[in-house]
Structure 1
């Protein structure tokens, strides 16, 4: 992912846009600015108009092709080339096309666009999940953020894509699609399925899934990286700048599909995703290997692009091992004949021999936790039961993940139970996660240990808090028996969004949106919605959309 252009000042209210449109406008101190967002095109090069003002109230109507403004007064603005413009619509509206050009249009056309825009937003808002009152306002903001980020990719005009952000990330990134689907499933499960269809529909014959599906096709190899990404790698002296190696994202497809199915069952869709996931897991074990274990052949495939773990070429990593172990454990339940216990055992053996905890990549070994599904579980072992048991996330009920103490390993809860992550290693990682001098504290979880020289509280994956890794860590903690710490991580995640809005990532020391983080970020919004539903009265399985 390229670093998107920061908007200064960052908008504090949702931009004006329409469902399915990449056109949006924001209000700045000098007036309104409108953009037509494109994949890997800087926002500074995507301006339709800037500094729009009027001596009378203005009304915006946005559709997929452009934006029009109606006013009883005179309009003034700057064109993309900086020239000052003035116009008196004189009973008409003024329209800017996303493809370029502007001019007067009849008020009837403006009114029709506005009516459709309002109807689409009304339908979107009606799907906002019902949550407890303490989560309601931020859930509405996050649900609207997901609507804001809907576009129609030119390569898939029949499908509504929920992209990471109109502020720089206009494409369907594979693992963004997974986290976004987790939030959408509670109010719009069919749209959640569409996000998975978008990224899996571009699966290669060998089973590889692409990194990104965009307007012009897919990004699936390092040689096809956008110029901005390649330049950043060159600036860091990375050997990956011109590497012709596969680009993908972590194998979370089956994990996501199973959770979507739990809320909105669709047997045919689940069967299709099992097929896709099975082919993808085979690709990881066959074609993306170093030192005898699956690994990322490019750091961007990890999703943790500039993590210090990749400052030098990396071999196998604990996070990928954990993802694959969990995927195969799910496959063993959903389609036993497609699972490979010996493959999983080899990966678990490798994971059990790892030590230390320098980055979140090490902590994510926790995601491999959980009992062997061939042994029976008690009801309290199931994730959905744990979600129902969560107390209200308040200062009195949820301790911060900052207890400076050693956490004891959980005991096996069933005779003969085999765990893919040794309990002692799980306890070691949980202790590191909770340590305020390493990953924990009031703002958790940092993505790099504060004891590491590379730690930077506000720089991408070198320290900041991201909600997607927090979600995975909380799932891993709960699976390994650390339910209280998992609840604390979830509560910290909620507080960050409630205080700062759905930003891309948060400064790990200040607890505020990082200065380079993108606003109105898709997976942050979706994960907040998912947590709010699951932590509200009832569970994700009983809380329905607000129809």
Structure 2
């Protein structure tokens, strides 16, 4: 039996060590600035500690980077300059007319988690007046962000937002991107020095060819001043299941908040209706029995079974039969995600049957605490309570064995990536809040 109280105490210490006042750094060494979905998960950790004022400050720090067109950037460079690469001097957000003039940011977004995070804070804050005031403060910014996701990133109105850089998915070097990234040309790329491998062994990080393509995509978007023409002409354009499932879940939350605040709901209802339909017609693959990403370059699904597909359950986008098929064929399958003689823990980020699975390399196979939490509550939403609790037990065992790492080897439980990682600590504290 794992004692939870010492883990909670250690998690609180990680948050406090990484607290920079206005925001909480994911890791002061490796990631010294604010990342969008990290900020959302971190806010849940502060709320679980009872510090709702600090949780709201985390969200405000993310919203302060919002562009005038509604976009929320994936990095806000508080504390710039630093040794982080690629930094504000490469992104050059000042080239974009919509970007803030007083705060450098990146030029892309990240999975939209703030909607459901703010709803959770609103539900659990015992100070109802404070909760209502913050929801009313944040709602216009969230609505503007989601309008941007539906216009700039879904101009055809199909119900899915395209991502134009793997970093927008949060799953930087997933095997999902091997084919789309192969179309990115890197000729003429200026020389650069990576900072990430200074802190983490290169066997656990993206390969150099992937990093070349990451930077080439930044330079492409920058050359278009991060405008519509750069999105249209990007060689990397994907409808990602995880990104769009979290968008849908946040729009469910926006709908509830709009009702509570007396705001119109018709626009949000249309968003929800279109995304439900698009998940069924475009992303569900009946042959593989799984939600798959869609490559806009080839106009077909990407045949990679990744854990992000399971996040569709957290958003309630699967039918009960689809949820059962995903669980039986993949999550409980020892050849795919379930433990067997080679692995001991749930949930690897990629099916072990995929040729791109690498159990120690970043998003190509290790276990991440945030995905485990989202998947567990998705399973609970469909009645798979024992499996959800099993994932929770495995998560606690990983942390008890190895501490609050970025990610973990599913075979041994060894902690990988940077240590004292904020969202691993925050989600141990805030795990129960994700139920809504």
TM-score by structure 1 length? 0.56
2:178 is the alignment partner of 1:315:
no
How do 1:24-423 residues align onto structure 2 when only pairs under 5 Å count?
134-151=3-20, 159-187=21-49, 188-215=51-78, 225-226=86-87, 246-264=107-125, 265=128, 266-289=131-154, 292=158, 293-311=160-178, 312=180, 313-336=236-259, 337-338=264-265, 339-353=267-281, 354-355=284-285, 356=288, 357=290, 358-369=305-316, 420-423=317-320
**8 Å CA contact 1:254, 1:273 repeated in 2:** no
**8 Å CA contact 2:33, 2:79 repeated in 1:** no
Q: Does the residue aligned with 2:272 lie in a helix, a strand or coil? A: helix
The alignment of Structure 1 onto Structure 2 pairs a total of residues equal to 328
How far off is 1:469 after superposition? 0.8
* CA distance in 1 between partners of 2:423 and 2:280 (Å): 30
**8 Å CA contact 2:331, 2:337 repeated in 1:** yes
Higher helix proportion (structure 1 or 2): 2
How far off is 1:133 after superposition? 9.0
Q: Does the residue aligned with 2:54 lie in a helix, a strand or coil? A: helix
Cα distance per residue 1:141-163 (max 9 Å; x no partner): 11111111112xxxxxxx43211
Structure having the higher Rg: 1
**8 Å CA contact 1:447, 1:464 repeated in 2:** yes
Q: Does the residue aligned with 2:48 lie in a helix, a strand or coil? A: coil
How do 1:437-456 residues align onto structure 2 when only pairs under 5 Å count?
437-441=335-339, 442-456=344-358
Structure 2: any 5+ residue segments left out of the alignment? 92-105, 181-235, 291-304
How far off is 1:134 after superposition? 2.2
TM-score by structure 2 length? 0.70
* CA distance in 2 between partners of 1:327 and 1:213 (Å): 21
**8 Å CA contact 2:408, 2:414 repeated in 1:** yes
How far off is 1:438 after superposition? 0.9
Higher strand proportion (structure 1 or 2): 1
How far off is 1:215 after superposition? 3.2
List 4+ stretches of structure 1 deviating above 4 A: 227-230
Structure with more relative contact order (C-alpha pairs < 8 Å, separation 6 or more): 2
How far off is 1:540 after superposition? 10
**8 Å CA contact 1:295, 1:316 repeated in 2:** yes
* CA distance in 2 between partners of 1:213 and 1:136 (Å): 33
* CA distance in 1 between partners of 2:313 and 2:351 (Å): 16
RMSD (Å) for aligned C-alpha atoms: 2.8
2:318 is the alignment partner of 1:428:
no
**8 Å CA contact 2:358, 2:364 repeated in 1:** yes
Q: Which moved more, 1:196-205 or 1:308-317?
A: 308-317
Instruction: Describe the shift of the 1:262–1:133 C-alpha distance in structure 2 as closer, same or farther (beyond 3 A).
Output: farther
Instruction: Describe the shift of the 1:320–1:215 C-alpha distance in structure 2 as closer, same or farther (beyond 3 A).
Output: closer
Q: Does the residue aligned with 1:498 lie in a helix, a strand or coil? A: helix
Q: Does the residue aligned with 2:388 lie in a helix, a strand or coil? A: helix
* CA distance in 2 between partners of 1:426 and 1:273 (Å): 33
Instruction: Describe the shift of the 1:133–1:470 C-alpha distance in structure 2 as closer, same or farther (beyond 3 A).
Output: closer
**8 Å CA contact 1:458, 1:506 repeated in 2:** yes
